[in-house]
Amino acid sequence: MTLSQFHPDLSLEAYLEAEKSSLNKHEYIQGQIYAMSGASDAHVTITTNLIALLRNHVRGTSCRLYATDMKARIESLNIFYYPDILVTCDQRDIKFEYFKRYPCLIIEILSPSTEAFDRGDKFIDYQ
């Protein structure tokens, strides 16, 4: 995630609506939105390999596997993140088309530019 804010104090509803048609992904942190940067070859390769491995484990279960484009909602903190990989087995998540509220697994692939944030504030937020 690039920590370059481009619109202060956007409402949750406006963020969700704008994100549906946006050409770029943005994470939402308590009214502030942050544009996400592109991923490196290594980042995409690691993500793809993990998805291939995880897909075999969720096949035939009620769990759903999502990669890169599904938001995780942290309602108590008013945050939406785009994890690299998200798995939910909670049937309550079926009703949410553009985000999931009850993931059982979240994976973030570390990059030099995001490692501190991913290991710090974002990790704490996910807990």
Identify the structural domains of the chain with CATH numbers, from first to last.
Answer: 5-121 (3.90.1570.10)
pLDDT (tens digit, 9 = 90+) per residue, 1-32?
Answer: 333 455 567 899 999 999 999 999 999 999 99
- All residues at 6 or more sequence positions from 46 whose CB lies less than 8 Å from its CB, including other chains: 109
Helix or strand (DSSP H, E) at 105: strand 103-107
Residue 3 to residue 103: CA distance in whole angstroms: 24
pTM above 0.85, yes or no: yes
What's the pLDDT tens digit per position in 67-82?
989 999 999 999 999 9
